[in-house]
A and B are shown apart, each in its own frame.
Chain A
Amino acid sequence: MTISFGNPDRPNSYIGKTVPRPNAPRLVQGRGKYVDDIVLPRMAHVVFVRSPYAHAGIGSINTVEAMAVKGVLRVFTGADLAKVCTPWVAVLAHLKGLKSPPQHALAVDRACWVGDPVVAVVANTRAAAEEAAALVEVDYTPLPAVTDMMSALDTDTPVLHPDMGDNLAFRRLHEEGDVDAAFAKAHKVVEARFKTARHTGVTLEPRSILVDWNPAEAQMTAWHATQAPHMMQTVLAKHLDLPEGRVRVICDDVGGSYGIKVHVYPDEVATAAIAKIMARPIKFVADRLESFTTDIHARDHEIGGRIAVDKDGKILAMDIDDWTAIGAYSVYPRTSAIEGNQVVNLCGGPYDFAHYRAQTSVVFQNKTPTCQYRAVGHPIAVAVTEGLVDMAAAALDMDPVEIRRRNMYADDAYPVTSPAKMRFEGLSHHASMTKLLELMDYDGLRAEQAELRKKGIHRGIGIASFIELTNPSPFMYGIGGARISAQDGCTVRMDPDGSIVALSGVTEQGQGTEAMLSQIVAEGVGVSPAKVRVITGDTQVTPYGGGTWASRGAGIGGEAALQSAMALKASILEVAGSMLQSPVEALDIRDGQVVDSATGEARMPLEELGRIVYFRGDTLPKGLPRELVQTRHFITSDYPFAFTNGVQASYLEVDIGTGEVKLLKHWCVEDCGRIINPQLVDEQIRGGIVQGLGGALFEEIHYDEDGQLLNGSMADYLVPMAAEMPDMVVGHVETPTMESALGAKGAGEAGTAGAPAAVMNAINDALRPIGAQVTAMPFTPERILRAMGQIED
């Protein structure tokens, strides 16, 4: 059974249409159920005492005053929890050489960053627990803090973890071709240093977990704001010494994730350990201040880059030296080496060139750990690549579009393997660029820019091509030994009234996963989406799966849903064929009716078939299969990742007096393969662009040299807000992946990948006539004026 996607008038054509989100009314009417909404009998609250030092030995802990606060039940130290909870080590076998020390749920001997949890206070109310936490006395011995990235490996820098030997967590060098020879014979060589600032994800709903341990059933149940419930099931079982089958992880509504909620956090595991010890439900909800010191950070990179071009603008070689500081521990279980590794994999991504060298050096720091955050590594790799390409174009006096035209892989070049050894099944760089130039009226915009320049108005146009890694196979985590599923499953069943229930292993965090699944299942079975109820996020209910991350929900979870829905349709039609005495091939299901496939004539509503199967099965032939439940799983196997591509453009104005940047307009044309829901895809692109613009202009976590976090509030950490956001125009080219019938690749991260580079190139386009250039994000008014030499000292 196949679907003729090319025909928009086909029956049940819900895939490719904007259909209403089934969970939207619930959320906008305040009827969502987040972890903090759940109240259980005998539930208590836990609050953590966190290290005020970036690095300190932990001496005696005095809890007498804390225990005296009314409502306090128990106080736990690291040693207390270590008795029931084993530490973890976040390394993966395929990231050769990656090292990290064991990390406990609560720090035992040493606190390694400001915010490291040290003591847990459990009370009847959050307020009482907070009051008591303030009274816990910990005897800290401050130790030297490692806080500077580029000197972390110097011999006179203290070693953060003496057992590890040095401060190098991971290093990978990739070399392809003869880079030095290519640079030696180049017509032009351009080099620059780039910086991307430390960010965090700032989810609307903070990290939250509620764990209950029921000794009578020997079962642990965790209601958790997570992207990966099955991964968390494994983690909790392993470290609390429980059988996996006796841990159930449920995620109801989750208020945003962006990668922040796909990791293992010590305070969350501590909450589970405490629930097991106390045999009662324990709730932990991070407040906004502790979110800034304990949610993973990301993007803290410094990169040296060189590019060699010939006189026609052909890229001959690229040479990248990436450094990143991850904090004191690699984050479990996905590790903190992936981001640097991605920079190596992705630099130069859109371009057909031969000689490539890239190295990433990942060092330990006494700061909040960093890990995977939306578009992992992409904004860094794209900024470095596109920045260098623009600088090369300027050195050759060539138009930025022209240099890209001369270097991007031809649209008919696929399949192809990049110098970073990434395999591309099918991309559309040139078609996307053509569409972008049309949408933005590139030539008209250049003319306007030149005209305004005469009036002293400094506008810039920035272009950024990119590739985006989606639909990961086990090559991402599984081959390294992590129990993180790359496969996903979906169970679809028909109930007596003809309604459909779909249970999926991918999860919803507000991006519309359930809408996407409902329309795929609706089309696959042949009912309206309103007839489909989707259930996600319960390890004891849904098929085993990976969850939603790395832009895999639609491509992997969507295909499993399509295959299971089509299997259910076949089962229904087999029963219908018997009941109607008709060959199955002559029947179809449309809008909830079994119909004659040739004429569309209605033969029987599904509820009649349901009535017979469930209540009058005696009237059907003995031995007739009547399985109105079907499950299918999907995993990619031809390619390690389904790469997507796209190109973004930014148009902005720089105030050369104040250094302010005003974003005027932004365009993105991307190719995520088959589009299932155009509005959801466009909003994913827009939301992603906003996060990318945040990185370009606003977001930066500041530490002082002692490792104190300086801007841990929403007043000081600047997230992008609506008033500063430009109009965004989103366009698409569709090159479906041939790995699946659905043909969908991921769309959730493309916006974030390309936006910072587009803005950087636009600012530098505006500043070029003045002779100034910026490469350190975020591009604050001050950094721009300093680049222009306007500020002394």
Chain B
Amino acid sequence: MKAMAGGYARATDVQHALDLLAGADGMGRVLAGGQSLIAAMNMRLSTGDMLVDISRIADLRGVTVEENRLRIGALTRHAEIETDPLIAEHAPLLTQAAGHIAHAAIRNRGTIGGALAHADPAAEFPACVLALGGMIHVQGPDGTRDIPAEDFFVDVFETALEDGVILTAITLPLAEASEKHLLRETARRSGDYALAGLCLVKRAAGHRLSAFSVGPRPLLALAAMERLDAGDIVGAVSALRAEIDPTGDTQASAAYRRHLAGVLLTRAMAEITGEPA
């Protein structure tokens, strides 16, 4: 099908983008990598959008370490995250995740800010940011705001991001020396959305576990985390299977996804502890 856009404008800086969105009469849509938005438009699932292209805004790019946190600009592309040395050192979970996202052509264009704002419950980056305890930074007509990842993801494709507001960056705590990160997922084919996936972070303070593709939004598995901290892996598997809320589709039933999440957790813990599952 042929896309039907309402208009297009390229923003020169964040303020310009905010002005364009404010003037779009509710039809404004932020265009970054376009890997979900353009596909939706080409299927006429979204029509009449006033596209505000932020992809040339230099301030929204780049990976830095600031004030003991890792800062990743919203426009940082998946392919850049896959190879960035600062990310590999301070948030290797994201490095692992990037390799699971779609295919090279999509990773060359898709951005982490876009992935977070789109909030596909099957996507890897939202679950990673949740497991890492990240902070999401946004800017709107009323100024900037910092939203903890745990408060950001609301429902399927729905976030705490309000209309007319742009996601500008995320920041993450730097990984401790002994910290372990592991992302495990099962997909029908390489690059497909996962049937179920887990992000596991083991810190001195305890375990953090998030799950994706098993509910309407990425889930921080608090009950399972508590069991893991207690050294009870079998209990953690049961807790995880109880707290996720998968739905069935043409690829797999809810029951399979629930079962799979437990298998992935057992295996991830075996890998982290070095003891066979």
Which residues of A are interface residues toward B (Cβ below 8 A)?
Answer: 125-127, 130-131, 134, 287, 289, 657-660, 698, 700, 702, 710-711, 713, 715-716, 718, 720-721, 723-724, 780-782, 785, 790-793
Query: With a CB–CB cut-off of 8 A, which chain B residues contact A718?
Result: 188-189, 192, 251
How long is the Cα–Cα vector from A148 to B189 in the complex, in angstroms?
29
Which residues of B are interface residues toward A (Cβ below 8 A)?
Answer: 1-2, 4, 43-44, 186, 188-193, 195, 249-253, 255-256, 259-260, 263-264, 266-267
Q: A287-B1, A718-B192 are in contact. Are A785 and B259 (CB under 8 A)?
A: yes
**CB pair A780 B188 closer than 8 Å:** yes
Q: A130-B44, A287-B1, A781-B256 are in contact. Are A711 and B250 (CB under 8 A)?
A: yes
**CB pair A130 B256 closer than 8 Å:** no
Query: With a CB–CB cut-off of 8 A, which chain B residues contact A659?
Result: 256
How long is the Cα–Cα vector from A702 to B252 in the complex, in angstroms?
12
**CB pair A716 B250 closer than 8 Å:** yes
B262 to chain A, nearest CB (A): 10
How long is the Cα–Cα vector from A134 to B250 in the complex, in angstroms?
27
How long is the Cα–Cα vector from A785 to B258 in the complex, in angstroms?
13
Identity of the chain B residue whose Cβ is nearest the Cβ of A287 in the assembled complex: B1
B14 to chain A, nearest CB (A): 32
Q: A130-B1, A131-B4 are in contact. Are A724 and B190 (CB under 8 A)?
A: yes
How long is the Cα–Cα vector from A130 to B251 in the complex, in angstroms?
31
**CB pair B255 A793 closer than 8 Å:** yes
How long is the Cα–Cα vector from A785 to B44 in the complex, in angstroms?
38
**CB pair A660 B186 closer than 8 Å:** yes
B212 to chain A, nearest CB (A): 16
- In the complex, 19 of the A-B residue pairs with CB atoms within 8 angstroms, ordered by the A residue number, are A125-B2, A126-B2, A127-B4, A130-B2, A131-B4, A134-B44, A287-B1, A657-B266, A658-B263, A702-B250, A715-B192, A715-B193, A718-B189, A721-B189, A724-B190, A780-B188, A780-B251, A780-B252, A781-B252
How long is the Cα–Cα vector from A782 to B263 in the complex, in angstroms?
13
**CB pair B2 A723 closer than 8 Å:** no
Q: A658-B260, A791-B259 are in contact. Are A723 and B189 (CB under 8 A)?
A: yes
How long is the Cα–Cα vector from A721 to B192 in the complex, in angstroms?
11
How long is the Cα–Cα vector from A791 to B254 in the complex, in angstroms?
11
How long is the Cα–Cα vector from A753 to B240 in the complex, in angstroms?
43
Identity of the chain B residue whose Cβ is nearest the Cβ of A710 in the assembled complex: B250
How long is the Cα–Cα vector from A758 to B4 in the complex, in angstroms?
47
**CB pair A721 B252 closer than 8 Å:** no
Identity of the chain A residue whose Cβ is nearest the Cβ of B262 in the assembled complex: A657
How long is the Cα–Cα vector from A444 to B122 in the complex, in angstroms?
42
How long is the Cα–Cα vector from A715 to B120 in the complex, in angstroms?
14
Query: With a CB–CB cut-off of 8 A, which chain B residues contact A134?
Result: 44
Identity of the chain A residue whose Cβ is nearest the Cβ of B192 in the assembled complex: A718
Query: With a CB–CB cut-off of 8 A, which chain A residues contact B253?
Result: 782, 791
How long is the Cα–Cα vector from A657 to B261 in the complex, in angstroms?
11
How long is the Cα–Cα vector from A720 to B259 in the complex, in angstroms?
25
How long is the Cα–Cα vector from A418 to B259 in the complex, in angstroms?
48
B244 to chain A, nearest CB (A): 15
**CB pair B250 A782 closer than 8 Å:** no
B171 to chain A, nearest CB (A): 32
**CB pair B4 A698 closer than 8 Å:** no
How long is the Cα–Cα vector from A659 to B186 in the complex, in angstroms?
10
How long is the Cα–Cα vector from A289 to B250 in the complex, in angstroms?
17
Identity of the chain A residue whose Cβ is nearest the Cβ of B43 in the assembled complex: A289
Query: With a CB–CB cut-off of 8 A, which chain A residues contact B250?
Result: 700, 702, 710-711, 716
Identity of the chain A residue whose Cβ is nearest the Cβ of B195 in the assembled complex: A781
Identity of the chain B residue whose Cβ is nearest the Cβ of A700 in the assembled complex: B250
B150 to chain A, nearest CB (A): 29
Q: Specify which of A781, A792, A793 lies most central, judged by the most chain B CB atoms within 10 Å of its CB.
A: A781
Query: With a CB–CB cut-off of 8 A, which chain A residues contact B192?
Result: 715, 718
**CB pair A791 B2 closer than 8 Å:** no
How long is the Cα–Cα vector from A134 to B249 in the complex, in angstroms?
28
How long is the Cα–Cα vector from A780 to B259 in the complex, in angstroms?
15
How long is the Cα–Cα vector from A781 to B192 in the complex, in angstroms?
14
Query: With a CB–CB cut-off of 8 A, which chain A residues contact B2?
Result: 125-127, 130
Q: Specify which of B4, B43, B189, B193 lies most central, judged by the most chain A CB atoms within 10 Å of its CB.
A: B189
> Nearest 9 CB-CB pairs, A to B?
A723-B190, A127-B2, A782-B256, A702-B250, A711-B250, A657-B263, A782-B252, A793-B255, A658-B186
How long is the Cα–Cα vector from A790 to B195 in the complex, in angstroms?
16
How long is the Cα–Cα vector from A720 to B190 in the complex, in angstroms?
10
How long is the Cα–Cα vector from A700 to B251 in the complex, in angstroms?
10
Query: With a CB–CB cut-off of 8 A, which chain B residues contact A790?
Result: 259
How long is the Cα–Cα vector from A792 to B266 in the complex, in angstroms?
19
Query: With a CB–CB cut-off of 8 A, which chain B residues contact A127?
Result: 2, 4
How long is the Cα–Cα vector from A718 to B192 in the complex, in angstroms?
9
**CB pair B252 A723 closer than 8 Å:** no
How long is the Cα–Cα vector from A723 to B100 in the complex, in angstroms?
12
A354 to chain B, nearest CB (A): 43
How long is the Cα–Cα vector from A791 to B196 in the complex, in angstroms?
15
In-complex Cβ contact of A721 among B191, B251, B256, B266 (8 A): B191
How long is the Cα–Cα vector from A529 to B190 in the complex, in angstroms?
41
Query: With a CB–CB cut-off of 8 A, which chain A residues contact B255?
Result: 791-793
Query: With a CB–CB cut-off of 8 A, which chain B residues contact A660?
Result: 186
A787 to chain B, nearest CB (A): 12
A449 to chain B, nearest CB (A): 22
Query: With a CB–CB cut-off of 8 A, which chain B residues contact A711?
Result: 250
B135 to chain A, nearest CB (A): 31
Query: With a CB–CB cut-off of 8 A, which chain B residues contact A713?
Result: 43
Identity of the chain B residue whose Cβ is nearest the Cβ of A129 in the assembled complex: B2
How long is the Cα–Cα vector from A287 to B42 in the complex, in angstroms?
10
How long is the Cα–Cα vector from A166 to B244 in the complex, in angstroms?
47
